[in-house]
Amino acid sequence: MGWQKTTQVVIGAQFGDEGKGRLIDYYAAQVGPEGLVIRFNGGAQAGHTVVTSAGVRHVFSHVGSGAFVGAATFLSRFFVSNPILFLREIEILAGKGVKPTVYVDPQSPVTTPYDMMLNQIIERERERGAGRHGSCGLGFGETIERNLTPDYAVTVADLADQSQLADKLDAIRRDYAPVRLARLGFADAVSHHAHLLLSDSILERFIEDARRFLQLTTMADIGRATAGRALLFEGAQGLLLDQDRGFFPHVTRSNTGLRNVLTLAQELALSQLDVTYVTRPYATRHGAGPLPHELPEKPYPGIIDTTNIPNDWQGVLRFGWLDLDVLRQAIAGDLAEAAHRQGFVIKPRLAVTCVDQVGDEKIMYGQDKVLRHARLSGFITALTKAVGLDAHLFGFDLTPVATIPCAASLDESM
């Protein structure tokens, strides 16, 4: 397994929920405590599920999905830190006997309680009007928006001075929040939610959360954090939610593919990246927005998903048949990003998770604007031909089922 000591990159090829956490855990197990999981996009809205052989289960949010096997975490400047939810995750992990090592870039943007409030207020108001955007309600996009204005920007480095932090938080709640809501057409919401926006106890509690966040992490630039480590880049969301290539406007405020990875890899003088694009054999989507070949219910009776439970912000997990043309275009577009960067060798492959959940069912998929169906072997042949990558198949627990080379000759009986 020559890839064990190389730099691994795991990217979702769909709308998220593909099984990225399981892949990171699988790769991290090969290097153990030498590993460092780099979060290169997204924030606390990530939900990457890992289950150990002993049955211990955790949905990773801030902490990298290699923590069960001892890998450390680095929250890069492209990751949005949320001290409130970070502390909650650390407490949950402590109850499972895990005390992760977490490094954080001082430039990492920070979500405040006011970003979460704005996010949830806006989503509720939109529900009454034109419909929701599909947000998680955790303030990720609002954090990105606020940090575009220097006077109201908050990074991890800003958390160290509590007095200045308090002044900035006060300015955000009194000056920025009303203007932001008014700009979006929800000016009346300011008075309706004044008891939250102007609560001194909420402000003071966040300053304490920020202090504890700094205690439980190590502020470090990427060079210091990665020194002597085996690197694993863990993506959040998926290629079809990329802010530049997804189904606008129902996208995330983030680049979900190779763009941020390549920037960080260049800073680290890395020369080769082994990239795994992950998909299920069917499509899923959380929240609003297009979903090709959408179905009214789960496509196969064996599908079990205990992570994506219905919630107030994104509703239920949606299902559809996998569209091979959409998948091919998403991956090809992402790899084209690397083609414009000099000095990198990219070795891509495809991982198909949850194949145990389709059982002996014929797998439906879209291709050339036609719905087709095949047994697993025929489906994988069509998939690898369409995408042009070798496929590695995994059950839900990431036990390898088979390794299928791209040129494999398999039974394509329908």
Mean pLDDT of successive 10-residue stretches along the chain, which has 414 residues = 66 95 94 97 92 92 97 98 98 97 98 95 65 66 97 98 98 97 92 92 98 98 96 97 90 94 95 95 91 95 71 71 97 91 89 88 94 94 95 71 40 27
H helix intervals, 228-308: 258-267
158 burial (CB, 10 Å; 0-12 / 13-18 / 19+) is: middle
Closest CA to 80 of 24, 155, 132: 155
**Tokens coding 177:** 């929040």
pTM: 0.91
Q: Which of 25, 48, 209, 334 is catalytic?
A: 48
Instruction: Please tell me the distance from the alpha carbon of residue 20 to that of residue 210, in angstroms, as a whole number.
Output: 29
Query: What pLDDT was estimated at residue 409?
Result: 26
Query: What pLDDT was estimated at residue 247?
Result: 87
Tokens 């890992």 correspond to: 50
Phi-psi region of 397 (alpha: psi -120 to 50; beta: other; left: phi over 0): alpha
47 close to 140: Cβ distance less than 8 angstroms: no
Alpha-carbon 68 to chain mean position: 18
Extended strands (E) in 324-375: 345-352, 363-367, 370-374
403 burial (CB, 10 Å; 0-12 / 13-18 / 19+) is: exposed
> Is 195 among the residues known to form the active site?
no
Query: What pLDDT was estimated at residue 95?
Result: 97
> Is 334 among the residues known to form the active site?
no
Strand, coil or helix: 365: strand
Instruction: Please tell me the distance from the alpha carbon of residue 356 to that of residue 218, in angstroms, as a whole number.
Output: 40
**Tokens coding 312:** 């107030």
**Tokens coding 102:** 């977490």
DSSP β-bridge partners for residue 234: 10, 39
Instruction: Please tell me the distance from the alpha carbon of residue 355 to that of residue 375, in angstroms, as a whole number.
Output: 11
| Phi, psi for 322 (deg, rounded to 5) | -70, 130
**Tokens coding 182:** 């008014």
Angle between helices 200-216 and 113-128 (to 10 degrees): 120
Query: What pLDDT was estimated at residue 395?
Result: 77
H helix intervals, 147-270: 162-171, 177-183, 189-192, 194-197, 200-216, 222-226, 258-267
Instruction: Please tell me the distance from the alpha carbon of residue 236 to that of residue 397, in angstroms, as a whole number.
Output: 19
Query: What pLDDT was estimated at residue 236?
Result: 95
Q: Which of 17, 105, 242, 323 is catalytic?
A: 17
